[in-house]
Amino acid sequence: MASAELIDGKAVAADLRSATAARVGGLYARHGIRPGLAVVLVGEDPASQVYVRNKHRQTEAAGMRSLEHKLPADTSEAALLDLVAQLNADPEVDGILVQLPLPRQIDAQKVIEAIDPAKDVDGFHPVNAGRLATGQPALVPCTPLGCLMLLDRTLGQNMAGRHAVVIGRSNIVGKPMGQLLLGRDCTVTIAHSRTRDLPEMVRTADIVVAAVGRPEMVRGFWIKPGATVIDVGINRLPPATEGGKDRLVGDVAFDEAKAVAAHITPVPGGVGPMTIACLLSNTLQAACARRGIDMTQL
């Protein structure tokens, strides 16, 4: 069998950012509105700082307002909740994103639940999770939404009736991914690190979404020939040779899996670029929904 076709997340993300920017332009031209995204960063986690910088750059490139709030690592939970309340009340703010992880003294779930669900562009609030689970319009977590867009681009209507196995049960990726796949008429199994005979389970899947956070855990022999593999994992490994650079790998053993699968996302360059692109789309969606504007008409 020929090597799997690579699913180009960079290209799909670029198309989504371009479409979002065009609609933002239409929103401003017709209604004089520029969506505002408030990003809150507590502390100085290096990975979070890089991510926030990328969000700022891409938000402005899409024609939106980027509103950054950087707080010291010793910020109290009460102070952060107070800031969230201010952002909830600010009519110029359409989307609120509190960068995770948060310092130990802050209960992340309390903060998530304090965000106005209409401005919850991360899609983590229980109201949005509940709406997604019951098939209602919702702000959907960005990473699984990006995965679904990659699958839509790759398989289209051919997803209906297929068996999808999601490896991982987090509220951020695994659970919402399962709901989104059900919405595409897939038969969905949520598996995880404690699933009995996980390799055999994965071998039954037409679609595999790996989001377990373990480098190269999913081996090539786990994959059903002709399956579509979406690798959400981003794991940093030490250099293969002395003096080399750290390596980024996914949750799937890529070289093994691409010899068996029909389609596969690379790491990096697969799911990763979709996350910020979907965040921008969610912010536009929130801005329109709060004002009763049909986003598809922009």
Q: Is 190 exposed, middle or buried (0-12, 13-18, 19+ CB in 10 A)?
A: middle
Using CA atoms, how far residue 262 sits from 1, 94, 178, 295, in Å, is: 9, 40, 21, 34
Asked whether the beta carbons of 128 and 140 are under 8 A apart, the reply is yes
- Give backbone dihedrals phi and psi of 290, rounded to 5 degrees, phi first: -65, -20
Active site residue 99: yes
Is 55 designated active site? yes
Looking up tokens 């490994």 gives 237
Contact yes or no for 73/42 (Cβ under 8 A): yes
Sign of the Cα torsion 72, 77, 83, 88 reads positive
Taking the CB of residue 124, how many other CB atoms lie within 10 A of it? 24
Indicate which residue of 120, 122, 206, 231 is catalytic.
122
The one catalytic residue among 58, 99, 179, 285 = 99
Catalytically active residues are 55, 99, 122
